[in-house]
Structure 1
């Protein structure tokens, strides 16, 4: 009997611990979440029915698409959903290095701009944070830029970058090689952090802005020449 009770306790404890474990989440994970919330809200506001068809009140007289009132209502719903979801930075991945945890977080600004940041916690302060308040992250970033010691937060801002215009959303991840932390997006290295010396060596906040490129291909060529190749050389020395 004692053996059975022990096994049951072990099973439930294991399930509980497993359920709290954070695993990698792609950008699409959050886009799918936004889409689901939008659909639920559209149904709630009766813009669409249970079969996802536009309801008569908000349908054009031609029978296809939203009328003016429907478009306005849809826009309001979309804005509110985006604001609700992306008021925080959202978890994508984390790595351990010595006594620290490095977390990669994703968010959006406005309708279209996608943004990422890397944050560091001490292991004893890490609590599987699925989201982090943007205001706290920005405060940490400003204090770091001003050379102040961040004493009121459990984490330290490392770096951030965002896509305004063309986007590299696939394969977003961080990894460690030769005591360097690298952020990769779209198969290109974007950021390099020296773990031993606690210093950002390579990063560009807005690659598209800096490159002044007219297309994704030209932007990525700029990223390869000015970020990726530099990072690759350093981590392989």
Structure 2
């Protein structure tokens, strides 16, 4: 979800399963035109999102996204709540590998509940999302491989072979270590460029070889040039950007 859309709140989480929680609660200030389109940049985490549009509630599990997309915004969304999960956490019966660049809708949702894995669950709130996640864990639906988060943060396991590490990262995230680091590097670069950091400085800060390398990464994972990020087009917003614990340097 966009980080500069009026009415958007987001926060980090202390849960080992949750990366971030966000909500969209209201429209912008009176007289402020709503955004016309959102550039959804590549994202290496999966998430659960519930939203109400034209009075109808939908719940979806959305997988990692390896490429950017441009989404028209119709202005009909009334509210949304999203839980972004940490690397290494996954639903036992819904492997992340099958969710890459796609999503799965709940077969039934009301304004208060939704169906997941055949059972009815209460839609989480912004402040109590971790309570919902804990219930998933206790039910055995949500599990995690702590080695995955450690490896992506730059730690080197001593008793696990590199091939086993690769398999476990792919099983828990749907992506390779290299793909995750490329995506996270691009997201961090986009965040810095939007803050006004010069492209030459971004190259050094996040570990690109040179400015052409940065430009190729922005085109592949963000869909925008550095100058477009520093001077965004009217009516256009970018999806939620934040720094994760994933190591991004080569």
TM-score by length of 2: 0.23
Name the one with the larger helix percent: 1
> Highest CA radius of gyration, 1 or 2?
1
Bigger relative contact order (CA 8 A; separation at least 6) = 2
